[in-house]
Amino acid sequence: MLSQQELELIKEYIGREPTYEEVLIFDALWSEHASYKSSKIHLKKLPTSADYVLAGPGENAGVIRLSDGTRVAFKIESHNHPSYIEPYSGAATGVGGIIRDILCLGARPIALADFICFGELKSPKMKYLFERVVEGISDYGNSVGVPVVRGQTLFYKFFEHNILVNVACIGVIPDDSEIISSFPKRKGAIIYVGAKTGRDGIGGASMASKSFRASKGRDETSAVQIGDPFAEKCLIEAVLETASKVQLIAMQDMGAAGFLNSTTEVASKGKFGAKIDVSKVPKRQPLEPIEVLLSESQERMLIVADPQDFQKIKQIFERWGLECEIVGELTDTGKYEVFDGEKLIFSLPLDILIDKAPVYDRTQKKPDWINSIQEIKFEKFPFPSDPAEVFIKVISSPLFSSKRFVFEQYDWGVLGQTCSAPGYDSAVIKLHSFKKFDEYGEEKNIALAFSIDGNPLYCFSDPYIGTQLTILESFRNLTCVGAKPLAITNNLNLGNPENPEVMWELVNVIEGMAKVLQDMKIPVVSGNVSLYNETEGVSIPPTPVIGAVGEIFPFSEPIKPYFDPGCFVIALGEIFPQIASSLYLYLSFGNFGGKLQVPNIELEKRVSDFIQRMARKGIINSCHDVSDGGIVPAVFESAVFGIYQGKDVVGVKLKKVFIKDESRWDFFIFSECYPLYIISVKRDRLEEFISECAKSKIPYQVIGETVDEDIFEVEGLFSLKISELRNMWEGALAKEVL
């Protein structure tokens, strides 16, 4: 919704009162979703370059070059508002949209990942939203043939009225193809390709740039798009075939604000004008010109090409059953001119639509409650009387328990490249279509690792440190499979930026991100900002979601996350009582807060490098990092994770040596300290492992062993049957929903 100040600015720019249609155009292009007017000046603080970055922010997706030369495109986007209003279509079209962002660069989509966050599963509505979002992601991804290989599913009370649906996509650019830019370097014909335009999705960008009212968005249903994954599959093949046969000038997805945004954006990026004829746009039904411009119908893209190549392009798209029409051209006028046949609808200078859109340095105010949250003393919380009872409560919570109920609905193995189950730390994708050979002719495969993470509790209590820890958690997940972290994509989910407290959160999230990425020397190459996640003045916690990409080269197989019998269990890294904003604190006392410890970046890097070296030497048998839930729940996961690969659960006996203060054993059992990894090493490799730790000055502690028994034991605290714990952990989420 345009402010009065913005309306006055429009009048100043055009020298008159804008027409109704012009107001709608400015409303879409100047929306937060399209213009980033509240975040743009702060996002410039992020590091975005490295010698292996081939395309960064500003393009449809980021592109990096792997060690063997393979070019990988990736990005994450949000579909929060649409998914709350209409969960199935909102989530499904979120998948379709992010696939097209990758496709725009000439990359074949090979993997999807999701981060979905809901309120607690107590109400029928939240169960409905959860089930329909998962179904929407599943149906679209499965139908289009792109596997969902990784995800995170959370349930916190803070998301009762604003759920989060973030989806990432990864693609690979064929070796014999060029990266297709969205910045045209010369003029050309503007070509519409894909499905026909309908009335669905009109006003989507504007809807995503405002808070929900008490109606909870019911009056916005028409702004939600409807997807067709089978048309998307045809679009993927048609675009990639075209890119292999025609030298395209530019390409752009029709996403937020649809045809209007894609045509103005391409023209603006090339410093051109654009002349458009909406009568040439393929339509499902009669539409007014403004409806054609603002529709966000799915499975549509924009190509800029030389006019003489049009017939060749049209033949390809018609063979795939898709529309292909010239709908305009880039010009030297600097104007955005829209015609309906011979009739001029409007003509506006392009720079006032894009370049002169308002950019705000909004007021910031540190929330009054932040200090009180951070000063919470854990000692005031009651000491748990039954260690077994509280442990079971944690592992059987939907926040911690197995997400098999979710990922078994996804065809995560399609394409045959996925080397890890979605429930593990990172997805591992073998790029077997891009095999390379060394100088001796020996095959050297490469694998891509991808992790997606968010932590609302950490970022609520301290957005600056919490964001750093979220990023480091993503890097640890890559380390767990033996991958070297290379770059990230991010999705910043927050409330209303016009609220100074939310703006303070946003700036601290960005500055915390900038700090850790600069220290780690890792760039962010793409991303999205989703603001106005608020209902009736109540915002969500700041929830930056991080998609981290790494490589394993040369690749044979990833480090597994699950134990084998007959191994020593080792805590590798730092052990200290980190209960601040922990899952244990939230589940046991309904509380969060406390002071998060500043991460030790130097140790993070050393431990990560060490694990990668040990993996190459074959010394490590398994690896899993400590995160949500803490130390002993992480050990438990390593004992049961093998079931995803058809293995049996493994018994574990832990010594209490890692509990530094037995008077508050809970502070260590459930400590989410960092960096800390749970490693298993076979008996005959322990001495070698210890020697390597000493040489590299890596802290470690042998805390137990794995056994071929039905037991999960922590010395002096509890001894339970691992088979019974496995059943509780595996069935907890389905029990809540069904």
Has 79 been annotated as catalytic? yes
Alpha helices in 229-309 (DSSP H): 229-245, 258-269, 289-294
Distances, alpha carbon 508 to alpha carbons 89, 123, 169, 367, 457, in Å: 33, 33, 27, 12, 15
Q: Which residues contact 508 (CB under 8 A, 6 or more apart)?
A: 463, 464, 467, 542
Main-chain dihedrals φ then ψ at residue 542, nearest 5 degrees: -60, 125
SS (H, E, C) 310-358: HHHHHHHHHHCCCEEEEEEEEECCCEEEEEECCEEEEEEEHHHHCCCCC
Contacts of 684 (CB under 8 A, 6+ apart): none
> What CA–CA distance (Å, rounded) separates 507 from 40?
11
Q: Is residue 709 packed enough to be buried (19+ CB in 10 Å), middle (13-18) or exposed (0-12)?
A: middle
Closest to 452 (Cα-Cα) out of 673, 238, 660, 170 = 170
> Phi, psi (5° rounding) for residue 117?
-135, 130
597 Cβ contact list (under 8 Å, min separation 6)? 465, 576, 578, 580, 674
Locate 279 and state its tokens. 């009568």
Q: How far apart are the first and last CA of the chain?
A: 40
Q: Pick the catalytic residue: 42, 79, 81, 161? A: 79
Distance between CA atoms of 374 and 580, rounded to whole angstroms? 8
Find the helix or strand (DSSP H, E) in which 83 lies.
helix 80-85
**For residues 591 and 381, what is the distance between their CA atoms, to the nearest angstrom?**
10
Token pair belonging to 263: 């045509």
Q: Any residues with CB less than 8 A from the CB of 554 and at least 6 apart, and which?
A: 444, 445, 446
> Helix axis angle, 601-617 relative to 463-480, nearest 10°?
10
Q: Is 706 helix (H, G, I), strand (E, B) or coil?
A: strand
User: 608 with 476: CB under 8 angstroms?
Assistant: yes
Report the distance separating Cα 501 and Cα 634, nearest Å.
35
Q: What is the DSSP string of 12-80?
A: HHHTSPPPHHHHHHHHHHTSHHHH-TTTHHHHTTS----TTEEE-BTBSSEEEE-TTS-EEEEEEEE-H
C-alpha to C-alpha distance for 572 and 119, rounded to whole angstroms: 34
Query: Are 572 and 698 a contacting pair, CB within 8 Å?
Result: yes
Q: Tell the burial category of 57 from Cβ atoms under 10 Å away from its Cβ (0-12, 13-18, 19+).
A: middle
Measure the CA–CA gap between 13 and 353, rounded to whole angstroms.
10
3-state secondary structure of 651: strand
- Check residue 709 and report its DSSP letter: S
Give dist(CA 643, CA 407) in Å, integer: 14
Closest CA to 725 of 651, 666, 645, 622: 651
Give residues with Cβ within 8 angstroms of 51, minimum separation 6: none
* The dihedral formed by the CA atoms of 683, 687, 689 and 690, expressed in degrees to the nearest 10: 130
C-alpha closest to that of 380 among 596, 157, 541, 588: 588
595 DSSP 8-state letter = P
Annotated active-site positions, please?
A: 33, 79
